[in-house]
Structure 1
Amino acid sequence: MTSTVNPLDERAAQAPEFPMARAAGCPFDPPPGLRDMQQEGPLARVSLWDGSTPWLVTRYADQRALLGDARVSADINRPGYPRQAPMPPGGTGVSFILKDDPEHARLRRMVTAPFAIKRVEAMRPGVQKIVDDLIDELLAGPNPVDLVEAFALPVPSLVICQLLGVPYADHDFFQENSKVIINRNVTPEQRSTAHGNLIGYLDDLMGEKIAHPLDDLLSGLAGRVTAGELARDEAAQMGVLLLIAGHETTANMIALGTLALFEHPDQLALLRETDDPRLISSAVEELLRYLHITHSGRRRVAVADIEIGGEVIRAGEGLILANDIANRDPGVFAEPDRLDLRRDARRHVAFGFGVHQCLGQPLARMELQVVYNTLYRRIPTLRPATELERIPFKHDGSVYGVYELPVTW
């Protein structure tokens, strides 16, 4: 009597755990296991916390193709969607980034205008003042200091608060709850409590904006609630999404980018010594490519069979697009593990691709351009105040970065 073993079942049984660990002493590089998988083939099975074995997509071209494919869904409520963590009891509200068109497009259009390039460019002088004022405070304060607390976190928090119409005086509250929500290791109950705290806070703010609208993004959403175009709970969910995304990602890029530049003094010198906006813009794109702080992969689920490189992704199977290793694809970026601020890295997928690409990317780019053009020139002797091995990295979060970055000058 003979038996046959389904090769897909065998691959699933042998699937390595995801997310993978980074190599010791290589905090800026993707896990070596991702590079191995990228070299071996277009698709591989990985194992998640719940025992599911979605497909991992590692190559740049395949990721771009899938992110633009209508047969791929971003809907977190579809069966087979590869969740990053257990859902809290009763679930949580879902904002537009985890929905499909037409609902995704309907909600996204309501907040697109404030992030248009011309609108964002008009904010540049105000962001420059925020950066300069914080550097003044930095220079007048204690030395050494934690750059995360004193500079990297306040810059985007102040900016997004002004854009949304959120009181910056409440930053401790929303930053602490944001940290819980994006931490993979907290319990579902802790995540649910933190999410509920922020929903309640944004709902209260929405009530104030409905009664007394101002010239800010939340007031714009409040107007849509009043007009019956948007439910109040939807508006609060959108507010939570924009508040978290608006400060967490950019704050981590500021701190992690600075640390990467410390470790590449020749590249840091390029920024310190230039006022060429083209080089500054190039530096931002290269740092986004090289670091890629959203390191848990973009999550999707197939709604129809899709063939890639001889493999068939079946309808209902989950997909994880590991964008950090796609940005190190040697078929797209020469010497991908080298940080080169003069490289043309604009094709990176740090902000995704397709209809779900990051709404706030013009704002993030502008903030990083201002920071990278200002901080190192105004404090030319800025340097780390401790060894790289002693810096705590955010291996436990869905957004990668450092918890602290002690600096001196």
Structure 2
Amino acid sequence: MSLYLMNEDILSFVWRFQYFNTTNLQTDDNVSVSILRTGYKNANAGPDFSQAAVIIDNVHWHGSIEIHVRSSDWFLHTHEKDLAYEGVILHVVWENDRPIIRKDGTMIPTLSLKGLVNAAVLERYAMLQDVKEGIPCAGMFQEILDIHKYAMLDRVLMGRLDRKAGEVMHLFENNQNDWEKTAYQWLGRHFGFKLNDHAFLRLTQIAPWKIIQKHRVRLVQIEALLFGMAGLIPEDSDENYVRLLRKEFLFLTTKYELTEKVMWAHEWKYAKLRPAGFPTVRLAQLAKLLSREGSLFLMLTSAQSITDLQEIFHGTQSEYWTEHYVFGKKSKNKVPAMGKDASALLVINVVVPLLVAFSKQRQQPELLDKAIYWLSQVPAENNRITRDWATLGMRVNTAADSQALIEWYNNFCSTRKCLDCTVGGILVRTSSLLQD
């Protein structure tokens, strides 16, 4: 493998599993070295492997291992300025083009792997990296036992839940540990259904939850606050409903001094959306949901059945918005309430992450079980990624399956992190792939 194709990922993989010739191993200054423990891969800042153990020139060393393609990358990454790297006991590289000296004047032993690595491992890795798009191992996927595939499926599902829960916890901390405010903003963000996620989140941050709570008994006031802060109430309409919104919004902005925070209408996107998904319709549906009595957080997290959850999101918007997709233009047909597919996405993207985050914050694993159960009760998403996996024989029956497969594709396949993938790692290690 050329230096151009070599990278730290494959070198770390080779070091971790010792896919190189360890017979009569020597450092680059011709000193014997034996590997007792390769160490634990470090996912955080600092040397690549910690708690390693090696014998160099009959002396036992315990500490960190650093991996680089070239030894001079040490300086490219400015490790010489970081005291954490003073504890490196062995520098493992592909090519040694510069000695590395510690601050105390001693040289860090360097082990060059070029010429020592199992060529078959490099070739298999190159095979996966050469696939330009899609799932890199698609042509070899059937080589892998189901037990390994579904172990990876479970792993990526938990990874996705942890990542989304982390996003919720970030909001929670920014909201001074207020679950109600966090639930409001998290719900608002996902009412944007990707295209308007950012705009909806921004709206819920400038239209304060405390004001929503105070005025939730009058739906028109919630609508006035949301549409007004969104910058969407027309100035030149004589419709009674619009005039009422303007009046209520003027009252609310005057009372709570919100005028300077109003969004611009151009921040909302309509292109490529069906009319039922227009932000105006979604805002009306959000307003209706927020007008319900009781705790919003408990409403979303304490449902007893998937039917209860779907009913929360399926409520019909106010009368004006059953006849209009946008202000001032009456629709020919009745505007529907939120559909089953959209409700299912809100269960997946709102309720489940809230439950997982709450589970972690309260250290109540039964809430995590409940979140996974909700995913198992929602039908799988049908998109290009899930269809690609289905052609490889992977089950795509529930949202738990589709969420895991989406995470697998986005975080491993599309980024070509094959070595961090259970399936990819096995394929790189399997010699049978090179046999006819």
| TM-score w.r.t. length of structure 2 | 0.26
The TM-score, its normalising length taken from structure 1, stands at 0.27
Q: Computing the radius of gyration over CA atoms, which structure comes out larger, 1 or 2? A: 2
Between 1 and 2, higher relative CO (CA 8 Å, sep ≥ 6) is seen in: 1
